Amino acid sequence: MSYRSPDPAQSAVLFVILFWVLLINACSGVSVPTNGSPGSATTSTPTLAISSTLPSATLGSIYKATLSVNGGTAPYAFSIASGQLPAGVQLGGTSGSISGTPTAAGSFSFAVSVSDSKGLTKQQSLQITVASTPITNSGNSFSNVQHAGGWGQAGQGPPNYVDCSPSPCDGISFSMSQGIASPSMSGEATQFNLGGTAVFNDALFNNHLIGPFSSQGMPDNNQTLVPTYHNFTYDVYFYGTNLELSQALEFDVNQFFDNLGFIWGHECRIAGGNEWDIWDNVNQHWVPTGIACYPNNNSWNHLTIEVQRTSSNQLLYESITLNGVTTPVNQYYNPGSTAGWYGITVNYQMDGNNKQSPYTVYLDDFSFTYE
């Protein structure tokens, strides 16, 4: 039996939560966040709490932030427990300040450890997104998205596929490296890796293009732009030497406004059966299209996906073009519910097989058009 990846209606917004609440999503997708409140305390055991959000940064610009600590007894000592800060940025060991001038764009996941004067310790996972110079082109299009700042990354594992980071976590290892000269078409490809020890685990990579945390300089603070766009084209080249090790590769367009979630999920099942699936937002499951998906090893595969949000707010899957062969999809679905989320994002996801065989895929000449 072919393996079915978890639904994007859970993963993408979970990942968005990681972006929006932890700041810094199938396969990937969206689920409505829950608001929990702590129960009443039954003991007076002292605890430490570290601030869980950090502002984004800009390549080549001075960055300053300070971690806040609640509880415990000052003075505090800070250190990096795992992961890495952006190049050019340092953590103050006694002040908790994070400062410097980032010299590389991307999303950087790390964990900070803090200890107080009484020996209490606490770790907190954090992420800093370093945006490069916006790469907006004329004609409502972004080019070289694979080389942009703002990429977030997370692992997802069964049975619930809740996002985890930084890598490695929950038996999943994942990473991305930008500015790869070979193999590359532009000289600025991005390498994406998935591995680990637990089977059927995934790596989700996500970029906020328009809306909060925009990597393209379009935060849409007045929330007037995102609802006006209806037509989207996701165009990318991808390359791998052993694509047969992939359970599936996923390419998604996401639009959120007015508590509605439009997730145009496209999954190329490779080890899972060499067929394209699309995502049903309401029923939260993958729907086989009957369209074959046989990408080539050791050569660049060109993928173009065209989708539309109709005037009646339905998702229309228009067509899939792989290596010059265009196949109409022409299927309509209703949107899901995503309370409070806003923006336009793109996802790229890699799914592990029944052995979690490690594999690498390169993306290049990634463009996104919105109208």
Nearest to 111 by CA among 88, 81, 86, 91: 81
User: In whole angstroms, what is the distance from residue 231 CA to residue 228 CA?
Assistant: 10
Unique residue bearing structure tokens 């059927």: 200
**Bridge partners (DSSP) listed for residue 351:** 202, 248
Name the token pair of 162.
Answer: 């809740």
Name the token pair of 63.
Answer: 């960055």
**Bridge partners (DSSP) listed for residue 93:** none
What are 310-332's pLDDT values in tens digits?
999 999 999 999 999 999 999 99
Whether residue 357 contacts residue 197, with contact meaning beta carbons closer than 8 Å, is answered with no
| Neighbour count for residue 123 (Cβ, 10 Å) | 14
What is the chain's percent helix, strand, coil content, to nearest 5?
5, 50, 45
- How confident is the model at residue 121, as a pLDDT? 93
SS3 of residue 277 by DSSP = strand
Nearest to 140 by CA among 193, 202, 218: 218
CA dihedral 280, 283, 286, 289 (to 10 degrees): -50
pTM above 0.75, yes or no: no
User: In whole angstroms, what is the distance from residue 299 CA to residue 270 CA?
Assistant: 16
- In the chain the domains, ranked by start, together with CATH numbers, are 135-370 (2.60.120.260)
Give, as one character, the DSSP assignment of residue 226: G
Name the token pair of 119.
Answer: 């020996």
Local confidence pLDDT in tens for the 371 residues of the chain:
333 344 444 444 434 333 443 333 334 433 322 233 233 334 456 788 898 788 888 777 788 889 989 999 999 999 999 998 988 899 999 999 999 888 777 778 899 999 999 999 999 999 888 876 544 444 699 999 999 988 999 999 888 888 999 999 999 999 999 999 999 999 999 999 999 999 999 999 999 999 998 988 899 999 999 999 999 999 999 999 999 999 999 999 999 999 999 999 999 999 989 999 999 999 999 999 999 999 999 999 999 999 999 999 999 999 999 999 999 999 999 999 999 999 999 999 999 999 999 999 999 999 999 99
User: In whole angstroms, what is the distance from residue 183 CA to residue 224 CA?
Assistant: 40
**In residues, how long is the chain?**
371
Phi, psi (deg, nearest 5) at residue 130? -105, 110
Given the DSSP bridges, would you call strands 172-180 and 343-351 parallel, antiparallel or unpaired?
Answer: unpaired
- How confident is the model at residue 161, as a pLDDT? 81
What are 214-235's pLDDT values in tens digits?
988 899 999 999 999 999 999 9
User: In whole angstroms, what is the distance from residue 350 CA to residue 27 CA?
Assistant: 9
- How confident is the model at residue 139, as a pLDDT? 64
